[in-house]
Structure 1
Amino acid sequence: MRVFEAVIFDCDGVLVDSEALGVEVELEHLAGAGLVYSRADYMRRFMGLSLAAAREAIDADARERLGRPLRPGFHDDLIEDYRRVYRERLTEVAGCATAVAALRLPRAVASSAGVSDLFAKLTMTGLLPAFDPHVYSADLVARAKPHPDVFLYAAERLGVAPGACLVIEDSVNGVRAARAAGMAVWGFAGGGHMDEAAVARLRDAGADTIMATWAEAADRFAAF
């Protein structure tokens, strides 16, 4: 059995149930601008990307499909609506706080979210004290997921070798980033946005196993 010395958590869709809310807001705004995506296609293409990478891909779609860029201020309005919805409706993923509290290993958050939004989400859901000061955004490194930079940065700050770290992720880009960092990775399927197709993509990307709920993960943590 592989021995772990630290656990590194993604945030959106793993610790906080933000992905389903975010997709709802994104699809509504994009449809209003003339870019219509199915929920499954949108999640497959954009989930786990950094904000900058997602913007770039959406802008490319607008030029290709609409023959024009999105209107000035579109992305700013979208972010403002995200933040409003998160303030009103964001919660932790069910069972997260209990599972994390039971973990006896050092832990960190490593997320593609921007620094301010990352801290805001963890604060809103009461999870920040469980990880602070080890909360790391891809803004702090040169490359976002699927590159390994943010996971390697978190491991360095924890003082743990990458090969001794376990990552918990819900996105293909996150799984690929963890594998590129030389870390073990569990796919997490407990967020409100996950379905069978999303789980299959995590397996195909190289997740070592799939955790359906935080209760299941907590049982495994007990063996560490």
Structure 2
Amino acid sequence: MENPAAVIFDCDGVLVDSEILAIEVEIELLAAHGLTYDVAEYGHRFLGLNDAAFRDALEADSLARLGVPMPADFIDRAHAQRWDACQSRLTEVTGCARAVAVLTLPKAVASSSGARFLREKLKLAGLLEAFDPHIYSADLVARAKPHPDIFLHAASALGADPARCIAIEDSVNGVRSGLAAGMTVWAFSGGGHMDGPAGRRLMEAGAARMVGSWEEARALFQGLA
């Protein structure tokens, strides 16, 4: 893209290495309920969804496979255990702070995470000050990813034309969201939860470029003006 106006980042699995922790916690909780998933399948289906969409998808699986609804407190228990894991083990995705520091364009976070946890995760990883106050959660918009609402909200807050924004994403739902907003999407495969097939799915979903690490992104950011 020539003359980009802004860069808008997903959070989980892009800025902070939280997706690998969430997948670990959630697969264990779901197995105890009787729902088992292959890790790759789980990531492909559920990453990038907000709580409501995630809960609806699990409810459909539980009814179809087990004939019973999901426990009413599943999301609350998943949040609690994910938060415990984050407090003890969350880090930035390696090299993130160094890469973001060279970016001179306006920037924002546009995440499916709820506002309650989003800022805290960025704070734990040492990234809050790099983006504050432009940190936007799915709680602020009517529709979550893969709808474009959160990306359009972030672009508007930055005063940037969405068509001149780069969105950086690690999930198919996120790629679809950025594209629906009219943005150029870079697929990021540097998170601890990513593998080769996951990266290929992002490109198949329409991402314009694959970025394999924050060191690679840092070099790309230095070329943006």
TM-score, structure 1 normalization:
0.98
Question: Partners in 2 of 1:177 and 1:154 — Cα distance?
Answer: 12
Contact 2:145 2:173 in 1 (8 A): yes
- SS of corresponding position for 1:85: helix
Q: Is the 8 A contact 2:51 2:75 kept in 1?
A: no
Q: Deviations over 1:2-37 (max 9, x none)?
A: 211110000000000001111000100000110011
Aligned to 1:105: 105
TM superposition shift of 1:134? 0.3
What's the counterpart of residue 194 of structure 1? 194
Alignment of 1:1-224 (within 5 A): 1-224=1-224
Distance 1:158 1:50 in 2: 23
Structure-2 separation of matches of 1:76 and 1:4: 39
How far, CA to CA, are the matches of 2:184 and 2:63 in structure 1? 39
Secondary structure, in 3 states, of the residue corresponding to 1:186? strand
Corresponding letter in the other structure for 1:178: G
Secondary structure, aligned partner of 1:143: coil
Query: Separation in 2 of the partners of 1:105 and 1:75?
Result: 36
Q: Which runs of 5+ in 2 are unaligned?
A: none
Identity %, equivalent residues: 57
Deviation at 1:77, TM superposition (A): 1.3
- After superposition, the C-alpha distances for 1:27-86 in whole angstroms (9 at most, x for unaligned) are 000001100111011111101111110011101111111111123322211111011001
| SS, match of residue 217 in structure 2 | helix
Give 1:182 shift.
0.7
Task: Tell me the secondary structure at the aligned position of residue 48 of structure 2.
Answer: coil
1: distance between equivalents of 2:43 and 2:74? Answer: 20
Superposed structure 1 runs of 4+ greater than 6 Å apart:
none
The RMSD of aligned alpha carbons is: 0.8
Deviation readout 1:154-181 (Å, 9 max, x if unpaired): 0000001111111110011111111111
